[in-house]
Amino acid sequence: MGARGGGAQSKGGKQSTNPPRGMRDFLPDQVRLRRRIIDVIRSVYEAHGFEPIETPALETLSVLLGKYGDEGDQLLFKVLKRGDKLAKALAAPHVDPAAVADLGLRYDLTVPLARVVAAHRMPLPFKRYQIQPVWRADRPARGRYREFYQCDVDIVGAPAPLPEVELLSAACQALERLGFDDFTVQLNHRGLLFGLLEQAGVPAARRTDAVVVLDKMDKIGKDAVRAELIERGVEAADALLGMLSFDDEGNEVVLAELAGHCRGNEQAESGLAEIEQILDLSGEQTSRRLSVAPCLARGLSYYTGAIFEISSPQLGVSLAGGGRYDGLIGMFMGEQQPACGLSLGLERIVDIFEQRTETRTPAVDVLVTCWDRDGVGTSLRVAEQLRATGLKVDFYCEPVKMGRQLKYASRRGIPAAVILGPDEVASGRATVKDLSNFEQQQVDLDALAATVTAITANIGADATS
C-alpha cells in the first residue's frame, strides 16, 4: 500500500519527512510490483486496439469545475496564481477564493480525454487508454488515497452497445490476466433507472436524490435504503423497491420482471434493450460475469447510458467502474459525441497483490565488491564486462569491510558476489560467492559471467518451483 503519509509535522524543528497526507512514497519493491501490474493491463488494452495518451497533471481550473458535481468541485486541489496576478487577487478588500487559483490537479482521466478529443480534433472513433495518477482532496482512509492511479479505456465516437461490449471484454481480460477469478460485473442503465423512477411515481425533483440512496443498496441493505428514501421525501419508496430489488434471481428472471415494470415507458424500455444487447453480444468469458443490477447508480453526474461496476464480493472491493457519457465531449467540442469508458482502480489491485505472499525475483544478479583503492580499476572493468553479457550488476562504491558489502548484497537479495582482492587480481581470477549458501569458488575472469549466471539460474529455479 505504499509508505503512507502521516501528515504530522515533526516536533523538534527538524524538517518533516512525511509525504503529504493521504499520499505515498513507493519504495523499490512497490514500484516493481506496480509496474508489473500496469504492464499487464497495458498489454491487454493494446491487444484490444486501444492507443495511449497522456495529459498534464494540471488543467485550467475552468476545464475541471462543474464536471464532477458540487462534491467533486470541493475535492479539487487548486493551484495558486503566480506573480502579479496573485498579488492583485490578494490585494482585494475581500479575497475571493475563486480568484486566487487558476489551475487544478487532474481529478479523473475522462474530462482530460474529452478536452484532448476536442483540442486535437482526434479522428473518430478514437479508442484510447490512459494510465496516470489523479488527485482528490478526499478524507484519507484505508484504501483511499489523495493521489492514486487510474487505468482508463474509452471509446469516443461510437454509439451503444458495441463499445460497452469491447470495454467490458478488455477489463475482464485484464483482471483475469492479473490472476483474479472471482469477480462480477454489475450492469445497469441510467435510462432504465430514471424511467423506472418515473414508473414508480417518484416526482422528477426527487429522482436524483433517490438515485444517490439506491446506490447504497450493497452497502447498507434494503431496509436502510427504504428508510433513507422516505426520509428524503421519496414517498414511493415501497413501489420503487418492489421494482428494483432482487435477491440473486439470475439475469433472466430479473430481465423478465424489469420488462414488465418498464412497459409503456420509452426511456426505460430502450435502456433495458441495451442491457439485453450487451448481455447477448458479450463473449462467454465476459457474459458469465455479468449481473443485471437495477440499483446500481454510479455517483458521477455525467453518465447517460449503460453503467457498470466490477467488484470482487469475496474480497469486498470494487475493482473498476464506468459507463456511457454521451454529453461530456460535447461540452468541449460544441457538438455531441457518443462516448463510453471504464476505469480500473490500480490501487485496489496493488493492495490485493501486496497481501499475496510471492517469491521476490532479485532485481540485481550480482554485486561486484570493492576491495581497496588500488584494485578498484579492475573491479570496475569486471563490472562493465559482466553488464555487457546482459547481467544486472551492482558495484559497491566504497572500499569498506567485505562483511559490510556482503551484508548489503544479502539485504538487497542479490544472489551472488564477486570479490577481487590483490591475489585474485594478480592471478587474473575472481572469487565468486553464492550468497544463498555462502559457498565460494575461484574462477578465471573469462568464466565469471557463466558462473554468476549459473548461480542466478538456481535462484530462478527455486523461485518457480
Q: Which residue has the cell 482528490?
A: 136
Phi-psi region of 179 (alpha: psi -120 to 50; beta: other; left: phi over 0): left
Distant-in-sequence, close-in-space partners of 437: CB < 8 Å, separation ≥ 6: none
Least Å distance, CB 263 to its own copies, is 24
Report in angstroms the alpha-carbon separations of 52 from 109, 191, 452.
Answer: 12, 31, 39
Q: Which is nearer to its own copies, 247 or 284 (CB)?
A: 284
Nearer to its own copies, 137 or 255 (CB): 137
β partners of residue 322? 308, 342
Give the residue with the Cβ less far from its own copies, 119 or 212. 119
Asked if 334 is part of the footprint of its own copies (rule: CB under 8 A), the reply reads yes
Contact assessment for residue 153 and residue 170, using Cβ atoms and an 8 Å cutoff: yes
Please name the residue that has the C-alpha cell 486496439. 49
Q: If you ran DSSP here, which 8-state letter would residue 100 be given?
A: S
Is residue 349 a contact partner of residue 37, using CB atoms and an 8 Å limit?
A: yes
Other C-beta atoms within 10 Å of 139: how many?
10
Q: Which of residues 288-317 bind its own copies (CB under 8 A)?
A: none
Contacting residue, 11, 70, 97, 264, with its own copies by CB under 8 A: 97
* Burial letters 61-82, b for 16+ CB under 10 A, else e: bebbbebbeeebbebbbbbebe
Q: Compose the 213-252 pattern: x for residues touching its own copies by CB under 8 A, - for all others.
A: ----------------------------------------
Q: Which amino acid is at 342?
A: L
Q: CB under 8 Å to 161, separation ≥6 — which residues?
A: 274, 277, 278, 281, 306
Residues 384-403 touching its own copies, rule: CB under 8 A, are 384, 387, 390-398
- Quick one: which segment of 211-219, 256-264, 329-337, 428-436 binds its own copies (CB under 8 A)? 329-337
Which of 11, 15, 182, 205: binder of its own copies (CB under 8 A)? 15
The Cα–Cα gap between 393 and 412 comes to 12
Measured from the CB atom, is 120 or 263 closer to its own copies? 120
- Name which of 67 and 261 has its Cβ closer to its own copies: 67
With respect to its own copies, which residue has the nearer C-beta, 29 or 423?
29
Q: Does 101 interact with its own copies (rule: CB under 8 A)?
A: yes
Smallest distance, its own copies to C-beta of residue 443, A: 21
Among 36, 71, 80, 423, contact with its own copies (rule: CB under 8 A) = 80
- Kindly tell me which of 332 and 353 has the beta carbon lying closer to its own copies: 332
Near its own copies in 26-55, by CB under 8 A: 26-28, 31-32, 34-35, 46-49, 51-55
Is 103 among the residues that bind its own copies (CB under 8 A)?
yes
Contacts to its own copies from residues 426-455, by CB under 8 A: none
In angstroms, give the least distance from the CB of 240 to its own copies: 33
CA distance 5 to 18: 5
Residue 346 C-beta: closest distance to its own copies, Å: 13
User: Nearest approach, Cβ of 57 to its own copies (angstroms)?
Assistant: 6
| Closest by CA position to 311, among listed 218, 400, 380 | 218
Of 286, 164, 253, the residue nearest 245 (C-alpha)? 253
Q: Does 19 bind its own copies (CB under 8 A)?
A: yes
Q: CA-to-CA distance for 203 and 239, rounded, in angstroms? A: 13
CA distance 153 to 210: 29
The interface region with its own copies, picked from 249-257, 404-412, 430-438, 443-451 by CB under 8 A, is 404-412
Does 98 help bind its own copies (rule: CB under 8 A)?
Answer: no
Could you give phi then psi for residue 78, rounded to 5 degrees?
A: -110, 145
DSSP category for residue 81: P
Q: Does 190 bind its own copies (CB under 8 A)?
A: no
180 binds its own copies (CB under 8 A): no
Residues 124-153 that bind its own copies (CB under 8 A): 125, 127-128, 133, 135, 137, 147
